[in-house]
Structure 1
Amino acid sequence: MNPESVACRESDLAISVADVYKAYKLYPSHQDRLKEALHPFRKRYHREFSALSGISFDIRKGESVGILGRNGAGKSTLLQLIAGVLTPTSGTISVNGRVAALLELGAGFNPDLTGRENVILASTIQGVAEDAIPDRVAAIEEFADVGVFFDQPMKVYSSGMYARVAFANAINVNPDILIVDEILGVGDAKFQEKCYSKIRSLREQGVCILFVSHSTEVVQRNCESAILLESGNVVKYGPADAVIAIYHDLLYGSGATLKNNGKNSESHNKIASASSFLTGNLPGSELVNFLQNGAEPWYQRSGLYNPNERRFGNGDAEIVDFFVTADGHANFDVLSGNESLAIYIKVKFNKYIAQPEIGWAVVSPEGIVLSGSNTAMTKVILPQTVSGEIRAYEIKLQPTLCGGDFFLNLGVGERVGKTWTFLDNRRAIIHLTVAHQESASGFFNIPFKCKPISDSIQHE
């Protein structure tokens, strides 16, 4: 349960889930189902599958919460229970307010009816006053923007058209709670941006939003909190970025988060030659000292280190140290935003890795990935490693940042076939402060020019 929810007054809650179980009976065949129903001594032919195993949490009004989890974790079952489509085997769910749910593409629509007819029918079922239906239909038609197809049978719609009409229909009921289950993965980019803009507008109006998506970046952008489900249990409920870190560990790591002990390897471990793994000219004696440094991690001397970093991976390699320069200078405080950054990292390998991959990301304080890449994406092949050695790598960036606070993620991974595994991922390990600029706003300073190309074209 979210720790803050304990202090919530009942009137502040949009959704309260208390010790909810949901079990399904699984039969080997249809015949076994019939045998069990007709057996005089009620012989059991089924086995039970627990989709949810006694979960509890509270969500406040106006809160936007992402639901994360691997396939089969119980996400869709949970949303169907909250929406009232399913009933729990045991436990209670309290929902305070009008619910609009997009649980399945086009659910409740009759494919033989037109989009307009389906919207009118849905309006009637939802209890919309008869004199308000024309305005509602017009608003849905405008938002869906499917043109002449709005008056065609929905069986001829593409999946994107279905998504447009379904989403427009769901949000035009003035909901107190909006439930979205992956439906926004359908449709073109412009329509998706339109949907997310509408979701942000609803959030500003105090609508509670439950958002299921396999895209962690979508959850980061649209949700302040997240719930991670695994095998029908709540693994973590808290700030979205912290939950996403654990989710990534489940997907790509060992499932056991590395301890952030801040200790380097023993000095007798071999450090690979800098000339083998660093490109360009060395910025000076400080880098040489960094490469030859003993047991004490160099980064602990740096004001750039963020002690609140989050870390996960399977431990087959560890990022044990880092060193940052801006335009070749190691000692800096506030950046202008136009510097060339060089990040030098030392990685200790605890086993043979045939092809290690090094990656980075620039993130906002909310954990939103603004930009990132890795050697696999850029087709850079790094040499294989042996167990027990420490190797040094250089990453060069010129991010042209606008003013504010930014963080850098650093990671080392391994790709075997199509499977990616995080060996060590250190999130928000480096904190950068950039001076505010008068010439640009946002995250990145993208150069632009504007000039007149003629005198007055028309004058009245």
Structure 2
Amino acid sequence: MAADIAIRTEALGKCYHLYSEPMDRLKQSIFRSRRQYFREFWALRDVSFDIGRGETFGIIGANGSGKSTLLQMICGTLQPTEGELSVNGRISALLELGAGFNTEFTGRENVYLNAAILGLSREETDEKYPKILEFADIGDFINRPVKTYSTGMLVRLAFSVQVAVDPDILIIDEALSVGDIFFQQKCMRRMKALREQGVTILFVSHDLTLVRDFCGRVLYLKHGRMKCLGQSQQAIQRFIQEDHRPEPAAGEKAAPAAERSAPDDDVLAFKENAVWVRDGAPETSAGTGDGKARILAVSVLNSENEMTLAARIGEKLRIRVLYQVFAEEEFHVTVVMKNRYDQIIFSGGSYTLGMEIPRLAPGEMTVFEMQATAMIEAGLYTFAVKLGQRIGSRNKGVEIDATPWLGPIGITWDYENQVAPFFGMFGIPSEGRFMNVKEMP
């Protein structure tokens, strides 16, 4: 393997044998190749890529896509079933919360235990211990058993040890999702410093905004196979589109190719920059209503007309919705947003904005755009788009079609170094002034 390559995989795969009953495992050991009593499950198959020395490489995918299996093979805790794997350099990995810690030992004892596992001598650990303690910032808990730690304290200590050993390759698997925002920022500053020092970083996270901003290239895995390997924005866009497409309705058959409508260049261009696209031809795709209208694609753009799923507090986002109607009726478009606690924090659109609905002939498509200022606290938010019709009461309607929950949209702010525009969940339009008592109206 070339010196400038840190990790190389060639047709890598991992297969597990699944037995229906415990007795089948015994039968298999007796009869061996003469008869098969198990089912094969390939957690990972035919995965090939190179990671350059000093590169920051991301891996994304839904739960069960094979991300953790791949990382464990790279770290050497799992052996591949097929393919080749080469690693050039000392690995430091944070794969599972509390992995490698003895819960009966104190934090200090676990620091020395983990440092020894990572190849440090007692003298080297003595030298690094003050920095580890300072970075973890858990106070007197360092002398208490780890079983008394909160999850946040545990990841603080684990991360502090991993980054203190001067690794050639640092692997992080979702561990930074635990802990408060200030410690997460502290970890990111440390990881950026390691990147500048030439450390190869392999980063796995469901926070797509963080992956996009931190990683140069990204691997997207689905059902254990490579779906996309490329620049971060490209891989993330592919993941969003594929993992949020609705499944065809039971018994539904796609129309023959000759019957499908051929979208024009503008529609194709819209879909290429969308965060979600409905599968199938518009007139045959499944919806949630009675077929009067269908949402075809949704995009999210920033003020520079670039596809994005990230914004700083106070920045504007534009959500565009491409939809097609099949009845000469009025259809309102609504955008619904939820926070990480599944609370609806916003629901509004063409109706609440008092917009006049365009009259479209059956088969016509149009685009609705809503511009919103992100005056909400930093965090991750999902959103959905709905088509509906008003009935009865002014604020009641019937749903005609809807997307699945999309995103997440990441709202960020550097709370440590910049004055926040507000504190709390929302920024309410407000103004203030100082005045003399005599000047009061």
TM over 0.5: yes
Partner of 1:388: 363
Letter in 2 for 1:249: Q
1:263 to 262, 266, 279: 266
SS in 2 for 1:380: strand
Give the structure 2 partner of residue 59 of structure 1: 51
C-alpha contact (below 8 Å) 2:10/2:83 kept by paired residues: yes
Q: Cα deviations across residues 102-130 of structure 1 (Å, max 9, x unaligned)? A: 11111111111001011112222333233
Number of equivalent positions:
342
Provide the C-alpha distance between the structure 1 equivalents of 2:145 and 2:112, rounded to a whole number of angstroms.
14
The match for 1:435 is: none
Q: Which residue of 2 aligns with 1:205?
A: 197
Kept in 1: contact 2:216–2:231 (CA 8 A): yes
Q: CA deviation at 1:83?
A: 0.6
Please list, as runs of the form range in 1=range in 2, the aligned pairs for 1:98-247 lying within 5 A after superposition: 98-247=90-239
CA shift digits 1:113-169 (9 cap, x unpaired): 001011112222333233222122221111111111110011111111110111111
In 1, are the aligned partners of 2:44 and 2:223 still within 8 Å (CA)?
A: yes
The counterpart of 2:334, out of the listed 340, 357, 368, is 357
Please give the secondary structure, in 1, of the residue aligned with 2:28. Answer: helix
Mark the CA change 1:344 to 1:22 in structure 2 (over 3 Å): closer, same or farther: closer
Matching residue within 18, 35, 53 for 2:10: 18
* 2:72 matches 1:80: yes
Q: Percent identity?
A: 35
**Corresponding position of 1:313:** 277
Q: 1:234 to 1:443 in 2, by over 3 A?
A: farther
The answer to whether the 8 Å contact 1:28/1:46 transfers is yes
Per-residue CA deviation, residues 367-396 of structure 1 (Å, 9 max, x unaligned), is: xxxxxxxxx752215569996354564534
With over 3 angstroms needed to count, the CA separation of the structure-2 counterparts of 1:413 and 1:176, relative to structure 1, is same
CA pair 79-318 structure 1, distance change in 2 beyond 3 A: same
Aligned 8 A contact 1:263 1:320 in 2: no
Measured after TM superposition, the shift of residue 306 of structure 1 is 10
Distance 1:389 1:358, change over 3 A: farther
2-structure distance, mates of 1:79, 1:196: 20
Structure 2 residue aligned with 1:348: 323
With normalisation by structure 1, the TM-score equals 0.64
The 3 A distance-change label for structure 1 pair 30 and 142 is same
Q: 1:396 to 1:123 in 2, by over 3 A?
A: closer
Residue 45 of structure 1, CA deviation: 1.1
Alpha-carbon distance, 1:197 to partner: 1.2
C-alpha RMSD over aligned residues: 4.3
> How far apart in 2 are the matches of 1:445 and 1:163?
27
Whether contact under 8 Å (2:298, 2:321) holds in the other structure is yes
Structure 1 residue identity aligned to 2:385: G
Q: Secondary structure at the match of 1:218?
A: helix
Q: Quick one: structure 1 residues 34 and 199, their matched pair in 2 at CA, closer, same or farther if it must change by over 3 Å?
A: same
> Does structure 1 conserve the Cα–Cα contact (< 8 Å) formed by 2:132 and 2:164?
yes
Report the CA distance between 1:47 and its aligned residue: 0.7
Q: 1:216 to 1:31 in 2, by over 3 A?
A: same
Partners of 2:271 and 2:3 lie apart in 1 by 38
What does residue 347 of structure 2 align with? Answer: 379
1:413 is the counterpart of 2:391: no
CA distance in 2, matches of 1:255, 1:226: 26
Query: Hey, what's the Cα distance between the residues in 2 that align with 1:53 and 1:220?
Result: 25
Deviates more, 1:66-75 or 1:119-128: 119-128
Structure 1's 254 and 319: CA in aligned 2 closer, same or farther, altered over 3 A? closer
262 and 156 in structure 1: CA distance in 2 versus 1, 3 angstrom threshold: same
Q: 1:171 to 1:342 in 2, by over 3 A?
A: closer
Q: Distance in 2 between matches of 1:181 and 1:241?
A: 20
CA positional deviation for 1:43: 2.8
Segments of structure 2 that go 5 or more residues without pairing to the other structure are 249-261, 283-293, 305-314, 338-343, 352-356, 376-382, 388-398, 410-416, 423-441
Contact kept? 1:14, 1:59, Cα under 8 Å: yes
Give the drift of 1:253: 2.5
Structure 1 gap segments, 5+ residues each: 1-8, 266-304, 327-339, 361-375, 401-410, 428-441, 448-460
Cα deviation for residue 221 of structure 1 reads: 2.2
Deviation per CA, 1:334-384: give whole Å up to 9, x if none.
Answer: xxxxxx989796843256898743499xxxxxxxxxxxxxxx752215569
Query: Within 1, Cα distance between the matches of 2:325 and 2:108?
Result: 62
User: How far apart, CA to CA, are the structure 2 residues paired with 1:97 and 1:142?
Assistant: 27
CA distance in 1, matches of 2:164, 2:151: 20
**Shift of residue 263, structure 1, vs aligned partner:** 3.4
Query: 1:36 matched to which residue of 2?
Result: 28
Deviations 1:229-284 (A, max 9, x none): 0111111111111111111112223599xx9953369xxxxxxxxxxxxxxxxxxx
Amino acid at match of 1:357: T
Q: Distance in 2 between matches of 1:212 and 1:321?
A: 25
Change (3 A) 1:46 1:135: same
Contact 1:175–1:207 (Cα < 8 Å) also in 2 = yes
1:153 & 1:221 partners in 2: Cα distance? 37
Aligned with 2:266: secondary structure? coil
How far apart are 1:32 and its partner, in Å? 1.5
Measure the CA separation in 1 of the matches of 2:210 and 2:317.
29
Could you say if the C-alpha distance between residues 95 and 397 of structure 1 is closer, same or farther in structure 2, counting changes exceeding 3 Å? same
